A and B are shown apart, each in its own frame.
Chain A
Amino acid sequence: MSNNSYAIMEQQPSIKGLANTPLVNVVRGAIPGPNAVGIEEHDDVGHLVLRGDATLLASAVTEVLDLAFPDQPLSSCSRDKTCIRWISPDEWLVTVPGTETSSVESSLRDAIVGHVAIVNVSGGQTIVHLTGKHASDVLMKSTSYDVHELNFPTGKVITTTLAQAQVIIRRLDTDQFELVIRRSFADYIWSWLRDAATEFGVNG
């Protein structure tokens, strides 16, 4: 089989409403409080998992995504709505705007030479942003990881546990965090976050 022989599944449904976010049934709405925490889902996002040797992936990622390649542990590189995160020594998570998922996947496949895997996992996970002065307090209740800025600066990515579920956390700014959560744990984490943020108030 030649290197360019592959099939790409178009995961963007043509009929609106067929693909619901995993958070379609959760409780939303504001909870009044002094310094409300923003809990917001970003569902129009394509997720691609890249697996393989960094030396095979680096130049292609730089070329296709116009981003530096995060080869250091726990690092990430982002531009606008495109981001690539270090997950493990041979795994990276790329997120792009939802409508670009297939074209980015094709471009990466064309650009990468060698034994790698690219998997579209958009249907399996979703993204929640935590914002506000007390966003880090909500995380401090929920994860054993030290989210103080000295230990967890902007741009750093960690995979850890939040409540009882696995989650990928990236600091976007002093008081902004991005959580990549699994579909099957999405409503659990959403409920947990709202509960944890109740004392501060919720913008949701």
Chain B
Amino acid sequence: MLKIHCPYCQETREEEEFHYSGQAHIARPTDPESCSDEDWGNYLYFRKNPRGRHMEMWVHAAGCRKFFNVVRDTVTYEVEQTYLIGHVPAGST
């Protein structure tokens, strides 16, 4: 079981309260009308699948029902940090 810190409840809770919600920081093309099919396809369907550090969204489904970001290692499953939507992870420039 993962222990995940919810930045809204400000507590570390069991994984069973959370749901995984996919890769974080996916920027929607600012002008969809003029972007190429390939760019739009990449935005819609293509996701990273890294071996190691991964930034992803989780939702505190059985708690405050808010979405937030998690940096997790996909090899060790270690949760490095959690932070609010719209922010960047601590330690990045």
Given contacts A89-B64, A89-B66, A160-B63, contact A144 B16 (CB under 8 A): yes
Contacts of B66 in A (CB 8 A): 88-89
State whether the Cβ of B78 lies closer than 8 Å to any Cβ in chain A.
no
Interface on chain A toward B: helix, strand, loop, or mixed SS? Answer: strand
Residue of B nearest to A74 (CB): B9
State whether the Cβ of B39 lies closer than 8 Å to any Cβ in chain A.
no
Task: Let me know if B62 and A73 touch, CB within 8 A.
Answer: no
Task: Let me know if B11 and A88 touch, CB within 8 A.
Answer: no
Interface on chain B toward A: helix, strand, loop, or mixed SS? Answer: loop
Task: Give residues 3-36 of B contacting A (CB, 8 Å).
Answer: 8-11, 13-14, 16-17
Task: Let me know if B17 and A74 touch, CB within 8 A.
Answer: no
State whether the Cβ of B47 lies closer than 8 Å to any Cβ in chain A.
no
Residue ranges of A at the interface with B (Cβ–Cβ < 8 Å): 73-74, 87-89, 91, 144-145, 158-161, 166
Known: A73-B10, A89-B64, A160-B63. 10 other contacts (CB 8 A): A73-B8, A73-B64, A87-B64, A88-B64, A88-B65, A144-B13, A144-B17, A159-B62, A159-B64, A161-B16
